Chains A and B, each alone.
Chain A
Amino acid sequence: MPDIKVTPLGAGQDVGRSCILVSIGGKNIMLDCGMHMGYNDDRRFPDFSYITQNGRLTEFLDCVIISHFHLDHCGALPYMSEMVGYDGPIYMTHPTKAICPILLEDFRKITVDKKGETNFFTSQMIKDCMKKVVPLNLHQTIQVDEELEIKAYYAGHVLGAAMFQIKVGLESVVYTGDYNMTPDRHLGAAWIDKCRPDILISESTYATTIRDSKRCRERDFLKKVHETVERGGKVLIPVFALGRAQELCILLETFWERMNLKAPIYFSTGLTEKANHYYKLFITWTNQKIRKTFVQRNMFEFKHIKAFDRSYADNPGPMVVFATPGMLHAGQSLQIFKKWAGNEKNMVIMPGYCVQGTVGHKILNGQKKLEMEGRATLDVKLQVEYMSFSAHADAKGIMQLIRMAEPRNMLLVHGEAKKMEFLKDKIEQEFSISCYMPANGETTTVVTNPSVPVDISLNLLKREMALGGPLPDAKRPRTMHGTLIMKDNSLRLVSPEQALKELGLSEHQLRFTCRVQLHDPHSDTDTLGRIYTHLKSVLKSYSIQHVPDGTVIVESIVIKVTSSAEEPNLKVILLSWSYQDEELGSFLSTLLKKGLPS
């Protein structure tokens, strides 16, 4: 039986880097190629030696698919393609291809600066890697080769995020990447066809959470910012260049407009232009509201949000600053934090994950005294808030996607084991399908039983109808007999005569023979006569002939009697029949084995 194998090298029962290997119909595909930002050595990248020991990934992999631009999904790509060595195709959507190198470059710049960093890719490698990327559009079916095709669906989450359907022949897998089933300020909700894949590989970050409404979180965020600004404090929001930052900007811009607030909002220099450039370029990937209003006014051209200059940090009075990087581990955001940390009127809002060792991680853990460079201690008096704006599907959303795609099997990745366990039970209960949750390095094998579509010849259908059969009905499957022709990549069921004609073959008759021994003291002719009489009495509705040449014929069944000279009482009855009369032939042989009536 054909099967599909799924092996996570990352994201198996964890929310680390995603890297999942799928073997389907003889093809090997890598889904995402993420990096773990928490390490500063080789442990940050997936160990590709598990795929192939000689490092020749190009020979092993048919393609790599990247779901979106976050580094835990694409951060190891230049390492894999340029340092380990992979020359094959890499697929991602157009926005992902445009934005991915910016984030890779951002992270490279932070990383190369660190001491003790080894084995990290260069700018040139990022570019060379990007040159291998084949961009694709939503709902566009891409033929990777003769057998393998892929198709992207909208996933929400971040600009350009996509879910991918991977199809080889009749087997298929859908990989969701990260997705969001509820639209947000700038992106729409994920959507997929009822494509009934053999396996749906879904992220499960919020496997057990039914998240409080987005509106609530937004209100909370605005309230906190507003309160701080009202009491004359400064608000620092450390962000990465692209993604959540834009959503928060739209939120604040609208709020400032509505409340007629005067406190300035700043964004790290250079980033707004770059980010907005991409949001404008890929406006079709944003949600309907933004697309509609874009004609009148570009949502990303902000009235209240201005470019930040480092000297502004010392300005008196309230202000809100979006600064990079997002984990408070370097550059501008850290510098501003140091300046503002000592004042309890100020506030820092962390909207995302922070790696251990970063200032962001420390203050989220409640540390109030930070040892900075040179052993000087920094007192953290400002308020620290964590607001998750991460756009993932919650438990309800995941169930909704299953309903949409109707998979035959489910496989959970990108989540915590305990939470996955809970969701797995729920899925198996509600949908009666198997749900798997392999750990990293473990292979899940799903046996597929593909239904093979076959064309039926019109003649065969007409003949079936002529025999009084009902009209074909999709809801009432029934058996039809014919000859299956596999030719030119198609399967057709035709009548045997047509098959012979088409294939230029002549018909051969296949006959079954059987010998039955019985003791009968009469002559051979008499024995045959007794058989004839016996059969006449048993098979009343059949035409039975006693032919003068010494045979009895029932339909296609021929019966002869012989005996040997040494033992004339032992008769050997020879039965022969064609395969159409297999049932009757078997019946007669059994009947005669019981002997003749005396």
Chain B
Amino acid sequence: MDSECLALLPAVCLVLADPKQSPPDDTSLEKLLDWFKELHSQSNGQVLLQHQPCLLEFISSVCTSKTTDHAILAFTLKLTGLLAATTQGFHLLEEGGLLVSVFEREAWCVCDHWEDASVRSGWLQGLLNMLKHQQALDFIRGNGLIKVILQLQNDRSLFVACLANQLLVHILNFLTSSNMTNGSDAVGSSELSLRPDWVSVSSEIMNAVVEALSSEDHPQVLQGLRLLSLVLSQCGEPIRSTLWKDVLVPLEVLVNRGSESLMKTLITVLQAAVRTPLLSQSEYKVEVLLEAMLGDGNRKEHFQCAALILKLEKCPEVLKRKAMNIILLPLQCVSTQPQAEKEIIVVLKEQLSQKASCISLLMQSLSSLAELAHTKYLFEDISIHSVTSSVVLLLRMCSGHCPSSLLHINAFTHLIGCCKVQRCGLDTLGALSVYEENVDLRKDIFGVLLDCLQSPDSHATVMKKTFQAIKRWIVECLPFPDLLQFISHDLFPVLEKRLCDLRWEVRDSTLEFITQLTAALNGYSGFTEALHNSGMVSVLLSSLADAEGYVRASAVAAVGEAVTVSFHIVNNNNLLEEALVQMMSVLSQDTEGFPRRAVVKVFTSWLRGSHPITALDSSLSSVLSLGGNDFDWEVKMHTLELAEMLMEKTLTCCPYAIQNFGSSEETHFTQALSRLKAYGLFDLLLNSLFDCDRPVCEKACGLLVKLRTLTAETADLNHSAFVLNVCGNRWENEVQRRCLKKQPAKASVCVTNLVSKSDEETDCDLHCSRNISLYKILQILDLDDMQRMLTLSSDHVVNSPRSLMEDILSAAQQSEENIVDCY
């Protein structure tokens, strides 16, 4: 493939370098670069450049042309960098001065090319691509390019600025990589032991960071902090500690200034610092800085900082506790009397009296609490009961209930019906289920969750979060006997009501919840009985006729799960029969793919279970036939998965062995094949083999290969017993063609007829091969070749580089420009 592509390369280069041509499709150049990268990783740049002089000519001609399109320029810069990534390639490009002319910034300024962000970005990316060896670094240093990169760090384009930071970090990393220095990775290995000319490079970059941090210009400070955090997280010693020492003073100034707009970026810096060994050395003051950022905990920024500190994986415990005390304050302030200094409470209450800050503080409080719960954080100073009760109370307030003792709190009015706080609170409440001691509060917890479900005004997203929380709590409370009482008496009636909600989102979430609950409680007979006795099953069945496709699909899954847990119940037959009738109607008539897909999936899951297939016998052939002829390829795929399961269940004596049938097994195998034939499984597989969607063909082919292996292994199988009628099937032509190939004597007559489709053809078909045995079909079809082709197939969108190059070339030949359109 590559040799063909390389043959096309000169022509492609000519087209791309031609300033009269408009650049190809915006993705083509990127894809072409991908190919070069791949080539480069396989071989080296020198080989490519030596064998493809057109590349040098291309780069040279783009550099000299003043009118080349920006997209082509950017491409050339990236490509040059890539080709110069090996020392040999680098030298070839440097020899004729080409490298300098490509990366010399001034050259680009002449025609305003530099004004275009894509060119600046290409320039940086080119250098980044190139920086793989010492000569590249010498080139960058020697041509004074560090200065340009530092300038680009403050570029007006986010993308360029970000790339410049990446390049600077890459340079610093490169300086300290093991083959360049004698430095160790121990913190504080104070001096850089670099080549003297490279010391200037590192100090130039580091001085720029210090300067940026000391600057009064906000964007510059921000970029400086970004670079600092990148250095901390991506560079090793001694760069890391040297830079940290240099920036400590301006950093302390920034931290103490407590500017809100810098807070997040400062925390990112400290977050990166915490992950390094700098944390454990007091002279680097990481902990001091974090504590300073927490302040006295009464300003908005302090809360933000506390929330961020709690998310740090490695954080001193004292600091974490301080942050936790700060972050929990708003929650306590709203729901109880907090233990904190009066001054702090006054400031906090003032903030809580304003809606926007009240919501934001409580959300920070709640989400931090949830994160602590995810790690099962051990609360020492506060009881988890009181924290959980506060969350419950907060959720009650959101539903409009407030104890009279707290009515004076302004926050209450802000909270009524506030979805944001509700969603966050529900997540937190769910997360708090990890603390076993909270199980004592289950009555209150289920009470408030039920309130959320009962309220018709609850937002659909709130309902969904409520379901998630209920599920977590039910699973936690499983051994308690009062749980079943709660489910059947309290929960089910509300669920039935929610299944009639006007919003499809709510109906769907309810059904999803019922499915998950049923699966989680499978084996608890009390639950299954409750499901049947409460009338929930019939509500589920009626949901199969919902107006919304998504809901019908979820109803199918819910009914499927209900049937699964009810298989052992004696009077289950009614449910199964009813479910089968309705599901078949969904599969045959539903206009949407989701419900049809769900039906086939349910059948597969039923088969996968240890239930007797006989109960489904009557429907299976219809499912295979309907599913196999569906116009949604995913329904067809699911049907083939069902077929696979059916084959496995039918053909195996025990679940783990498919092969080696003995004499008694042969009888079993013959019977099993007869059953599969009766289900219409062979027709399904052969039809699917010639489907218009490749994944379907591939799956069917795999199953047929499996079948062929089995039939071949069973030597005494009576092949004539399994004869399939070829006529009228999708695979007729192919089988006939191959059949005729193997019967040369009859071929001449039949081939003519197959092509002309005349009346005699039928006679011919009838005559030569109307009925063919399955065994013969499997032998005739070259399944191995088909499988190989299907696996090789590059699929619908041709991604090969050759096709890409042909597209570029043919687009260039196309004289008439198609007006740019968007889908």
Q: Which residues of A contact B (CB under 8 A)?
A: 7, 14-16, 36-40, 43, 50, 53-54, 70-72, 87, 101, 105, 109-110, 113-116, 123, 127, 130-132, 145-147, 178, 205-206, 209, 240, 268-270, 273-274, 277, 310, 326, 329-332, 334-335, 352-353, 355-358, 361-362, 364-367, 371, 373-374, 386, 388, 390, 392, 414, 416-417, 439-443
Contact = CB atoms under 8 A, between A and B. Distances in A.
6 contacts: A54-B268, A114-B797, A127-B550, A332-B692, A366-B813, A442-B117
Contacts of A209: 819
Given A131-B464, A274-B592, A365-B807, A356 B822 contact: no
B423 interface: yes
B810 A362 contact: yes
A352 B162 contact: no
B360 to A, nearest CB: 9
Given A87-B423, A131-B508, A334 B593 contact: no
B28 A373 contact: no
Nearest to B162: A50
A101 B592 CA distance: 12
Contacts of B26: 14, 16, 38
Interface size class of B (residues with CB under 8 A): 35 or more
Given A87-B423, A367-B806, 17 more contacts: A40-B797, A50-B158, A70-B822, A87-B461, A113-B795, A114-B795, A240-B823, A329-B796, A330-B796, A332-B692, A334-B796, A352-B823, A357-B799, A362-B803, A366-B813, A373-B694, A440-B117
A459 to B, nearest CB: 33
Contacts of B31: 356
B25 A7 contact: no
B405 interface: no
Contacts of B693: 113, 330-331
B114 to A, nearest CB: 13
A357 B804 contact: yes
Given A205-B822, A365-B807, A113 B508 contact: no
Contact of A353 (B116, B793, B803, B822): B822
A334 B795 CA distance: 12
B158 A131 contact: no
Contacts of A386: 818
B594 interface: yes
Nearest to B810: A365
Contacts of B692: 310, 331-332, 334-335
B27 A39 contact: yes
Nearest to B820: A15
Contact of B631 (A43, A240, A269): A269
B675 interface: no
B681 to A, nearest CB: 22
B789 interface: yes
B355 interface: yes
B104 interface: no
Contacts of A50: 158-159, 162
A435 B465 CA distance: 45
B27 A131 contact: no
B694 A113 contact: yes
B356 interface: yes
Contacts of B753: none
B819 A388 contact: yes
Contacts of B814: 364-366
The 3 nearest A-B residue pairs measured at CB: A441-B159, A38-B27, A330-B796
Nearest to B637: A113
Contacts of B191: none
Given A38-B27, A50-B158, A178-B822, A270 B509 contact: no
B497 to A, nearest CB: 19
Contacts of A442: 117, 156-158
Contacts of B509: 131
Interface string B157-173: 11110100000000000
Contacts of A417: 70
A109 B635 CA distance: 11
B501 interface: no
B90 interface: no
Nearest to B360: A59
A401 B53 CA distance: 53
Contacts of A105: 593
A366 B24 CA distance: 14
A38 to B, nearest CB: 4
Given A330-B796, A356-B28, A365-B811, A277 B819 contact: no
Given A352-B823, A357-B807, A442-B158, A113 B789 contact: no
A113 B633 contact: yes
A390 B693 CA distance: 29
Q: Max chain B CB contacts within 10 Å: which of A268, A417, A439? A: A439
A179 to B, nearest CB: 13
Given A40-B799, A357-B807, A439 B116 contact: yes
Contacts of A365: 807, 810-811, 813-814
Nearest to B696: A113
B574 interface: no
B821 interface: yes
B5 to A, nearest CB: 14
Contacts of B223: none
Interface string B778-815: 00000000000100111111110001101100110110
Contacts of B797: 40, 114, 329, 355, 357-358
B460 A131 contact: yes
Contacts of A110: 796
Q: Max chain B CB contacts within 10 Å: which of A43, A110, A357? A: A357
A357 B550 contact: no
